[in-house]
Amino acid sequence: MHIFNNGKYKSLHAVEQGELATIRQTVHSDKDFYPTYHLAPQTGLFNDPNGLIFDGEKYHIFAQWFPYDALHGMKHWEHFITRDFQTFEKFDRLIPDEMFESHGCYSGGAIMWQNKIVAFYTGNTRRASDNQRVPHQNIAIFDKSGKLLEKRCIIDQAPAGYTEHVRDPKPFITTEGKIRFVLGAQRENLTGTCLVYEMDDLDSTPRLISELAVKDFDNSHVFMWECPDLFQLGGKDVFVWSPQGKLREAHQFQNNYHATYALGKLEGNNLTAEHIEELDYGFDFYAPQSVQNTDRIVFGWVGLPDLTYPTDKYKWHSTLSLPRQIKVANGKIQQTPIVQLAAKQAVEIDQKIAIDNLDTAYLQISVENQPLALNFFSNDNGQTLGLRYGNGLLTLDRSATEQTDLMEKFGSLRHCQVDKLDSLEIFFDRSVVEIFINSGEKVMTLRFFIANRINLLETSRPITVQVAQVQAIQIQN
C-alpha cells in the first residue's frame, strides 16, 4: 500500500487526526444550502455517480469524492448501501493506494460476477519523467456486504490511436456470458468516441473490439466522450454518454458540457438512433449512470465540470440527483423520481403566498398549457428564482440569485421546448431543484443560491398547487 500525499493529490490514508472533523464543522456552518434529501458529501466534493448496482437485496451507490475541499483533487469513491433510497449506510471506500491509481480513482461502473461486486474504474496516474497522464483501467472486487476484497489493473495504457483521455469503463454481461465494457475515449485527431472491450472472464486480457458508432449524432467539435453507458430498456437499445465540446445552442445543449442519450437499435457496434436528446435541460446535470440489475434507475451528478458554487466556501460541493426510474414512452425516455412524500395539501394561490418549508417541498402544478410566470423565494436583497412558460417554451431564470463568475459565464437562463405543458412537479431541496415536466417527459435540474430566504411563491395568475414535504434521507456512518 502507498500513502499518497502531494498537494491536492492526498488520499484518506494521509488524513491527520481531527482534520475531517474540522472540515465538517465548516460544512455545518452552512445554514442555507446543504440539502436534506439528496446525497451530498459530508466534507469536500462529490461528482460522478459510480459503480451503481443492485446486488439482489441492496443498492450500492458509489460517488466520486475528494474529502478535503470543494475542488477536484484526488478522487476517491464514497460507498453507500441502501434498500429503499431513504436510509443509507457507508461501507468500504475506494481509496487510491496503488501505483495504478496514484493520482485518483476515476469513474466507472460495476457488475455482479460469481456473487461478488466487480467495480471497473480508471486509475489516474502521472508519469514521473514528464507528468504525462497514463490511464489505467482497473477492477475492485467487493463482497455484497460492502467489504473491499482486492484491486488490480487490467489495462495499463491507452490503446494505439488514442490519447491519454481514455476513461470511465461501464461493464455489462453479454447474453453469451462474457464481460463487455464501454470506455470513453479521445482519438489522436482529438475527436470523441467510445471503445468496446470484451473479456471471457475476470482473469482474461481485455480485447478491444471496436468503437461504438452512434448514427445521426453530430460529433462536430466534440473532443471527448465521457461516462458511457449501454443497456436495454423497453425493447430498445439505449446509449447514455456525456460529450464534451459540442457547440451550445439556443434551446438545447446550452451548458458547457452535456448529458445525452440515444435510443434505437444496436447492430454489432453500430447504434441506429431513433431519437437523440439530452437527459436534462437544466443548468447542472452531468455524468448520469444507470443502476446495473435494475430496469432501470439512473442517478446523475447535480453539477458540471469546471464550475464553482457559492457553497465552495463551506468546503462542500455538489450532490447526486434523486434516483430516477426511467422507461420508454412515445419513443423517448421518461423519468420518474423515487422519493417519499408526506400527504399532499391543495393550496390556492392568487398572487403570492408564504408556504412553510417551501425550500424542502414538493410542488405539483397544473399549468393547462396556459402562460404562467412563477417566482420562488425572496430576501432583503431582492433575490428570487424565476420559472415562466409561454409560446411553447419553459424558461428557468436564476439571474436574480447569487452566482459565481463561472456560473454567470455560461448564462443565467435555460430553456426547454414544451409544445403542450400540462403539469410541473418541482422538488426543492435548499439549493437543489429538480423539475419534472409532463410526468417526466423532460427534466430541468439546477443549483440556486438565495441566502436568508423567505419561503414565498408568487404567480402571474391564479393557480392551485399540491404541496407536500419530502422526507429527509438518513445516513449512517
Give me the residues paired with residue 468 across strands. Answer: 362
Compute how many other C-beta atoms are within 10 angstroms of the C-beta atom of residue 383: 19
Phi-psi region of 273 (alpha: psi -120 to 50; beta: other; left: phi over 0): beta
Element spanning 141, H or E: strand 133-142
Backbone angles phi, psi at 98, to 5 degrees: -120, 160
What does each C-alpha distance from 370 to 389, 420, 426, 457 come to in angstroms? Answer: 8, 9, 18, 18
Phi-psi region of 313 (alpha: psi -120 to 50; beta: other; left: phi over 0): alpha
Sheet containing 393-397: give its strands across: 352-354, 454-459, 372-378, 385-390, 393-397, 413-417
Would strands 213-215 and 224-233 be described as parallel, antiparallel, or unpaired? unpaired
Q: Is-contact 104 9, C-beta < 8 A?
A: yes
Long-range contacts from 264-271, C-beta under 8 angstroms, 24+ separation: 264/215, 264/236, 264/237, 265/236, 265/237, 266/230, 266/237, 266/239, 268/210, 269/196, 269/209, 269/210, 269/211, 269/212, 269/213, 270/212, 270/213, 270/215, 271/212, 271/213, 271/214, 271/215, 271/237, 271/239
Q: What are the cell numbers at 299?
A: 442517478
Alpha-carbon distance of 173 to 178, in angstroms, equals: 6
- The residues assigned a catalytic role are 48
Q: Is-contact 166 108, C-beta < 8 A?
A: no
Cβ burial, residue 429 (10 Å; 0-12/13-18/19+): buried
Cβ burial, residue 164 (10 Å; 0-12/13-18/19+): middle
